[in-house]
Structure 1
Amino acid sequence: MAEMNTQAESGRQRGGRRSKKLSTRVDMTPMVDLGFLLITFFMLTTTMSKPRSLSLIMPADGPPMPVGASKSLTLLVGANNTISWYDGQGQDPAAPPEVHPSSFSPASGIGEVIRAKQQKMAQLYGDADQLVVSIKASHGAQYRNVVDALDEMKINRVARFALVDISAVEEEMIGE
């Protein structure tokens, strides 16, 4: 509790009344209650909002699994929030793949390309889970864009995808 005491003049003045000793008191009980309410509120809200993360399952060690070119799609994540794609894996130097620019737009971006490829897999092989997506990030790519590409895998329910190192030829294809 806070209390302020002020001293009145001592002695008696001529013909005047005697002044009273004044006491000013500030009750701090409501402030303490408010403090405890705020502490309780912030403790509860911090425990309710848990950080969320994307689970990533890594493959077992061993020789790489061969994937047919018709079953694969390669995403090239570039600098300045750009993303490009091409069909296949681009392993044949005699026939370089045709690179198509895209975006992270929900309506007509890379998600639409993935869904179209999944429909093609379902028509050809009877199962959309046959699609294998390789995600290759250039050296100038932002971490956020790689996470956005991984989010597209989760949103479109792509069962098989991999983060792969980008080659110098592929960096030249996207102009980096």
Structure 2
Amino acid sequence: MGMVDSPNGKHQAKKGRRQLKRLGFHLDMTPMVDVAFLLLTFFMLTTTFSKSNTMEINMPPETGEVRIAEQNVMTVRIAGDGMAYCSLGEEIPRRIALYGSSDSRKLSLSGELRSLLRKQTSVNKKMVIVVKISEKAKYKNLVDLIDELNLMKIDRFSLDDYTDQDEAAIKRAV
């Protein structure tokens, strides 16, 4: 609470001058600090902390090279045209729509691509999926594909660079 201190009013006047009363003011800040800490505590305890949206990617060690048989490698190339090009080993890539309809913002991957991935990994337990994405493609395409692989519990996949040979393979696609 605020209090005003006033002297007892007995002052001696100096020659011809009138002396002004000086009032002292004292403000007790304790209740305001209490309310501030109460509000701070309330908001800290009632707000929910948002989880960061991150994807954990385990990188293999840089030492050594892993040899995989050609029939155990499925390459999924994502070009900038909204299509996925899948090939097993050195086969000519198959052209598959990446999304089920033209609106890629609402839908997940197409059923054809999903069934192909599921079929190939169930037939061959040693199957490794190599994902190559063009610079022209959207980042969302890569994230959607990796999410779909995680949902299908396919954990044997790798990300690789998109090269000119991949561009040539796409041009040969059926």
Normalising by the residue count of structure 1, what TM-score does the alignment of the two structures yield? 0.61
C-alpha separation in 1, matches of 2:162 and 2:68: 17
**Equivalent in the alignment of 2:146:** 150
Comparing 98-107 and 65-74, the one that deviates more? 98-107
Instruction: Encode CA deviations 1:94-118: one digit per residue, 9 max, x unaligned.
Output: xxx2111122344523221110101
C-alpha separation in 1, matches of 2:64 and 2:167: 26
**Offset of 1:85 from its aligned partner?**
0.6
**Equivalent in the alignment of 2:62:** 61
**Offset of 1:136 from its aligned partner?**
0.5
Determine which of 135, 155, 162 is the counterpart of 1:159: 155
C-alpha separation in 1, matches of 2:78 and 2:110: 19
1:100 equivalent to 2:103? Answer no
1:87 equivalent to 2:103? Answer no
Unmatched 5+ residue regions in structure 1? 1-35, 91-96, 122-127
Instruction: Report SS of the residue matched to 2:66.
Output: coil
Instruction: Encode CA deviations 1:88-147: one digit per residue, 9 max, x unaligned.
Output: 2x3xxxxxx2111122344523221110101211xxxxxx3x110100111211111111
Aligned length: 124
C-alpha separation in 1, matches of 2:170 and 2:85: 7
Instruction: Report SS of the residue matched to 2:111.
Output: coil
Indicate how the Cα distance of structure 1 residues 55 and 65 shifts in structure 2: closer, same or farther if over 3 A, else same: same
Instruction: Report SS of the residue matched to 1:174.
Output: helix
C-alpha separation in 2, matches of 1:132 and 1:86: 12
Unmatched 5+ residue regions in structure 2? 1-38, 101-108
1:76 equivalent to 2:70? Answer no
Identity percentage over the alignment? 20
Tell me which stretches of 4 or more aligned residues in structure 1 moved more than 6 Å.
none
C-alpha separation in 1, matches of 2:158 and 2:93: 19
C-alpha separation in 2, matches of 1:166 and 1:137: 6
C-alpha separation in 2, matches of 1:174 and 1:163: 17
C-alpha separation in 2, matches of 1:168 and 1:148: 24
**Equivalent in the alignment of 2:137:** 141
C-alpha separation in 2, matches of 1:174 and 1:148: 21
Determine which of 150, 161, 170 is the counterpart of 1:174: 170
C-alpha separation in 2, matches of 1:61 and 1:155: 27
Comparing 104-113 and 73-82, the one that deviates more? 104-113
Normalising by the residue count of structure 2, what TM-score does the alignment of the two structures yield? 0.62
| Largest Rg, 1 or 2 | 2
